[in-house]
Amino acid sequence: MPAEAQGSRPDAPLPVPRPRSLARVLIILCIPALVLLVAWLGVRFLDSLRRTAQQDLPCYGSLGQVGLAIRMYCADYDGRFPWARNWCDAVGPQYVKNLDCFRCPALPQARSGYAYNAALSGFDERDLKPSANLAMAFDGTGGWNASGGPERFDPRHRGDGLFVYADVRREWKKAKDLPTLTWKP
């Protein structure tokens, strides 16, 4: 076949790249960049989940233990809830194996990160009205033996706080949800 037929003439213009080949180059460059961006965002998201789980899950378990300890106290003291002025002292040594369950991981410097519903102080559980959301203990301020009501609530877990109810259920709540809770037995 003659050289002219193959398009290799010395004076022949060079072929102009087609627009599709430019699009291919952009795709080849952009796809790895997008993959790296998604991977970086995924790592950041998983890291935030890990940090959240390190605080939220232990708090959930600890406040559950505190709630069970309060109910065991009631069972041993003729159905009476502990007095608000010394509830940690009354419940702690007898009914929990490790006093660290009073610490909230989000407040490691505090001896206790929970508060007790002062309206339950010395209250007889036989006089409780059926209420699904009677707050018993919750993420609160004040430290050891802290008690009170909604004014003590501390939403320290990404804007949420944990409650344990008189029936020992636990639930995360926001400050705006406090009016839906029962504080008086």
Q: Looking at residues 79-106, what average pLDDT do you find?
A: 92
Distance CA 67, CA 95 (A): 10
Closest to 117 (Cα-Cα) out of 84, 158, 94? 84
More confident residue, 60 or 17: 60
Q: What is the pLDDT of residue 26?
A: 74
Task: Give mean pLDDT, residues 72-90.
Answer: 95
Q: What is the pLDDT of residue 116?
A: 96
Backbone CA torsion sign across 82, 120, 85, 176? positive
